[in-house]
């Protein structure tokens, strides 16, 4: 079968143009658009070749590295370190987070610190969870679907007196003073950066678990440093798996960002970039996090100017992580797995 020339001309157009057009796109159109974006992330391209008798042929080209070569990348090597379990004050923690990467990193660290954890994906699920179970603390993300973290925090504080509700700790990818003010204004009791520095987490949770403590301590000031990142899982293979999940999420987020920039949808740009920034910060991919922060800054000023160039840079940074993963994956499969430290 030969694809008609009028349809072939729009097969690989940006997703935003498909969304903005009056024509109803079918699954093949959307799928090929996403494939085109993924190919670009991998340093290649996808193309259509029409031949009258042979039909239509799609060609996929990607950049591949020699697996034996050790690459330099902006993503630090995954760290697998033992963590001493906290003794004496185990907490019941509700984690409200929609990113799978962030969920896995936060839950792994909290479990290894000796706490009991449940995960939900939006603010409405938070409200249902605290109605059915008792929790000591909620780690609350800001940007979530259905109901965001700020709205959920306000609702909890309106519905329950302070001595009958969990302490609410904001879990945010932003360190801006105005964001801290928004959280405190909504009723949050504390703040933890989404880079999830271990000492910072210990400090905040230890204060909640101490007998007779009614106030949740604020995280200590960290100056200009990024703080110690949480170890990624209990083995190199687990760390690699978390990075693979990040890349899978990025394969969806990057086309969404490009489409939102083209449509000048600043709200979508901020929401998607925030989620990606948080995951990158937890992984230690600081260049990706900083680039996402640029998108967030522009979106908050209701501007998408220059956004296409920023997204292109972001695509290159994610592609660098993708290229670095293969040799590390091979190395991880040869190393013995280590269980959680006791």
Please tell me the distance from the alpha carbon of residue 321 to that of residue 312, in angstroms, as a whole number.
15
Paired tokens of 200: 């910072």
Of 238, 199, 280, 281, which Cα lies nearest the Cα of 80?
238
Total Cβ atoms within 10 A of residue 53: 5
Mean pLDDT computed over 324-333: 60
- Confidence category of residue 328, pLDDT binned at 50, 70, 90: low
Domain boundaries, the chain: 5-61, 92-209, 236-334
Whole-number percent of the chain with pLDDT over 70: 61
| 216 or 303, higher pLDDT | 303
Mean pLDDT computed over 42-70: 58
Q: Which residue has the tokens 């939102």?
A: 260
- Confidence category of residue 44, pLDDT binned at 50, 70, 90: low
- Confidence category of residue 40, pLDDT binned at 50, 70, 90: low
Residues 228-276 pLDDT 10s: 445 555 567 777 888 889 999 999 999 999 999 999 898 899 889 988 9
* Beta-sheet strands, E only, within 189-265: 190-193
Biggest CA-to-CA distance, the chain: 81
Please list the helix, strand and coil fractions of the chain in percent, rounded to the nearest 5, in that order. 50, 10, 40
Please tell me the distance from the alpha carbon of residue 250 to that of residue 202, in angstroms, as a whole number.
30
| 171 or 154, higher pLDDT | 154
Q: How far is CA 151 from CA 71, 144, 145, 169, 192, in A?
A: 44, 10, 11, 14, 18
- Confidence category of residue 177, pLDDT binned at 50, 70, 90: confident
Cβ-contact 239, 205 below 8 angstroms: no
| 49 or 327, higher pLDDT | 49
Third-level CATH fold of 236-334 = 1.20.120
pLDDT at 282: 83
- Confidence category of residue 12, pLDDT binned at 50, 70, 90: low
Mean pLDDT computed over 290-299: 90
**Per-residue three-class SS string for 321-342:** HHHHHHHHHHHHHHCCCCCCCC
pLDDT at 331: 57
Of 193, 237, 205, 216, which Cα lies nearest the Cα of 102?
193
- What superfamily does domain 92-209 belong to in CATH? Response regulator (3.40.50.2300)
Please tell me the distance from the alpha carbon of residue 69 to that of residue 67, in angstroms, as a whole number.
5
pLDDT at 11: 59
Write down the mean pLDDT value for the chain: 74
Q: Report the sign of the C-alpha dihedral through residues 121, 127, 133, 137, in that order.
A: positive
| 331 or 171, higher pLDDT | 171
Paired tokens of 100: 């799978």
Residues 101-158 pLDDT 10s: 889 888 888 888 889 999 999 999 999 999 999 999 999 998 888 899 999 999 999 9
Q: Which residue has the tokens 């489409």?
A: 259
Please tell me the distance from the alpha carbon of residue 154 to that of residue 324, in angstroms, as a whole number.
43
Total Cβ atoms within 10 A of residue 37: 21
| 194 or 230, higher pLDDT | 194
| 276 or 224, higher pLDDT | 276
> Rg of the Cα trace of the chain?
22
Paired tokens of 225: 């440093």
């Amino acid at each position: 079968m030969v694809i008609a020339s009028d349809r072939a001309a729009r097969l690989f157009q940006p997703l935003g143009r498909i969304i903005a057009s009056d024509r109803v796109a079918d699954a093949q159109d959307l799928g090929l658009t996403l494939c085109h974006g993924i190919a670009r992330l991998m340093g290649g391209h996808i193309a259509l070749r029409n031949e009258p008798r042979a039909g239509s042929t799609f060609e996929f080209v990607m950049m591949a590295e020699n697996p034996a070569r050790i690459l330099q990348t902006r993503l630090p090597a995954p760290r697998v370190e033992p963590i001493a379990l906290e003794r004496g004050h185990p907490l019941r923690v509700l984690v409200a987070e929609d990113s799978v990467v962030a969920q896995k990193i936060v839950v792994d660290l909290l479990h290894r610190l000796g706490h009991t954890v449940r995960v939900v994906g939006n603010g409405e699920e938070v409200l249902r969870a605290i109605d059915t179970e008792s929790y000591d603390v909620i780690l609350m993300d800001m940007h979530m679907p259905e109901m965001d973290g700020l709205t959920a925090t306000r609702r909890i504080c309106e519905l329950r007196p302070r001595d009958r509700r969990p302490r609410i700790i904001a879990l945010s990818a932003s360190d801006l003073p105005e964001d801290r003010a928004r959280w405190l204004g909504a009723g949050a009791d504390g703040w933890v950066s989404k880079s999830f520095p271990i000492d910072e987490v210990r400090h905040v949770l230890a204060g909640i678990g101490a007998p007779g403590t009614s106030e949740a301590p604020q995280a200590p000031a960290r100056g200009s440093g990024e703080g110690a990142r949480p170890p990624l899982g209990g083995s190199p293979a687990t760390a690699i798996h978390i990075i693979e999940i990040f890349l899978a999420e990025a394969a969806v987020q990057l086309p969404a960002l490009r489409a939102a920039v083209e449509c000048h949808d600043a709200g979508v740009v901020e929401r998607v970039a925030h989620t990606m920034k948080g995951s990158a910060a937890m992984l230690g991919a600081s260049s990706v996090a900083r680039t996402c922060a640029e998108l967030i800054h522009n979106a908050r000023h209701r501007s998408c100017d220059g956004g296409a160039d920023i997204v292109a840079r972001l695509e290159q940074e994610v592609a660098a992580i993708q290229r670095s993963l293969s040799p590390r994956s091979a190395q991880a499969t040869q190393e013995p797995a280590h269980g959680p430290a006791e």
